Amino acid sequence: MTCVAVFKWAMNPKDERLGVDGSIKWAANRPEVGDDDHAAIQVAQDANPGEPAVGVTMASGEMAFGAARGIENTIAIEGLDALAQPTEIAAALASAIKGIEGVTAVAIGDCAWQPMVPSLLAANLGWPCILAVDAVRPEGDGLVVTRRFGSGTQDIAVSGPVVMAVAARREEENKPGMRAILTARKKPVEKVNAQADNASVFEVSGVHEPEARASKIFDGSDPEAAVAQLVSALQSEGVL
């Protein structure tokens, strides 16, 4: 059984800049490591502790993130536009995963930057997708996947291939040091061409800034008057 960990595949929306003419520019024109990526790697490793997980990432920037966390072989996808749509990202990831022999589980971050991709990836593979995954453990010939459910968690028994969208509960606690990162950069990276030509795409009809609301500033020189103005404003907004 081979498990795949997908990491560094989404653009950080904080790098997006919207011009007055509606044009979009990016401060960093490449995918970044997401907040859930370290947890996705851990889940992929936990799904099959006896065999190192295979990493899949985009061929830009630092590609040793997975190798520094126990992944021995990484596949890097080349040729996908940094601004590719979710459908194209999912298609490229699915194509790369299909090229790996014996894959039965894929762990990918439940990413707020591109929330559609895990489900679209599962659709491209023809596998079920479990969202908000916390942990996984092998049991018999399958897996038991723990996901967040309401105010608690739910254990799901899985007997076939599955895509697990992992949501980290906290930041990575034990990050690799510089020596581990330098060693990781020597591990093998196989580059493959992105296969997303047949993916459906959305047509963007326009871009605009979020609607802004005027701010109300109260003169604090008279505290009692400022409080009265604040209460009046809250009442007019229906808050009080």
Q: What is the pLDDT of residues 212-229, one digit of tens each?
A: 777 778 887 888 888 988
Q: Is the pLDDT of residue 1 over 90?
A: no
- Does residue 82 belong to any structural domain of this protein? yes
Average confidence (pLDDT) over 172-176: 91
- What's the per-residue H, E or C state across 52-95? CCEEEEECCCCCCCCHHHCCCEEEEEECCCCCCCHHHHHHHHHH
- Does residue 50 belong to any structural domain of this protein? yes
227 lies in the same domain as 177: no
Query: Which CA distances in Å does 207 have to 13, 84, 94, 162?
Result: 15, 16, 29, 36
Q: Is the pLDDT of residue 234 over 90?
A: no
Average confidence (pLDDT) over 166-178: 92
23 lies in the same domain as 137: yes
Average confidence (pLDDT) over 164-174: 93
**187 against 218, higher pLDDT:** 187
149 lies in the same domain as 66: yes
Average confidence (pLDDT) over 149-154: 93
**φ, ψ for residue 185 (rounded to 5)?**
-70, -15
d(CA 221, CA 217): 12
- Does residue 31 belong to any structural domain of this protein? yes
Order of strands across the sheet that contains 152-158 = 152-158, 142-149, 129-139, 162-166, 103-109, 2-6, 54-58, 73-78, 189-193
**62 against 2, higher pLDDT:** 2
- Does residue 232 belong to any structural domain of this protein? yes
pLDDT at 225: 87
117 lies in the same domain as 25: yes
DSSP E strand stretches across the chain: 2-6, 16-18, 24-26, 54-58, 73-78, 103-109, 129-139, 142-149, 152-158, 162-166, 189-193
**φ, ψ for residue 225 (rounded to 5)?**
-65, -40
53 lies in the same domain as 95: yes
121 lies in the same domain as 15: yes
Total Cβ atoms within 10 A of residue 55 = 28
156 lies in the same domain as 37: yes
**DSSP letter (8 states) at residue 169:** S
User: What tens digit of pLDDT does each residue of 110-137 get?
Assistant: 989 999 999 999 999 999 999 999 999 9
125 lies in the same domain as 231: no
Q: Taking a C-beta distance cutoff of 8 angstroms, is the pair 60, 82 a contact? A: yes
Average confidence (pLDDT) over 1-30: 88
- Does residue 203 belong to any structural domain of this protein? no
48 lies in the same domain as 130: yes
- Does residue 205 belong to any structural domain of this protein? no
123 lies in the same domain as 178: yes
d(CA 119, CA 4): 16
User: Considering its fold, how many domains does the chain have in total?
Assistant: 2
Which own/partner pairs from 218-227 qualify as long-range (CB within 8 Å, at least 24 positions apart)? none
pLDDT at 82: 82
Whole-number percent of the chain with pLDDT over 90: 68
Looking at the chain, how many residues does it have? 240
Average confidence (pLDDT) over 84-96: 97
Comparing CA positions, the residue from 118, 133, 64, 121 lying closest to residue 97 is 121
Range of the domain at 6: 2-193
- Does residue 199 belong to any structural domain of this protein? no
54 lies in the same domain as 171: yes
117 lies in the same domain as 225: no
When mean pLDDT is compared across 41-55, 80-94, 221-235, the lowest value belongs to 221-235
Q: Taking a C-beta distance cutoff of 8 angstroms, is the pair 48, 103 a contact? A: no
Question: Residue 99 maps to which CATH number?
Answer: 3.40.50.620
Q: Is the pLDDT of residue 87 over 90?
A: yes
- Does residue 198 belong to any structural domain of this protein? no
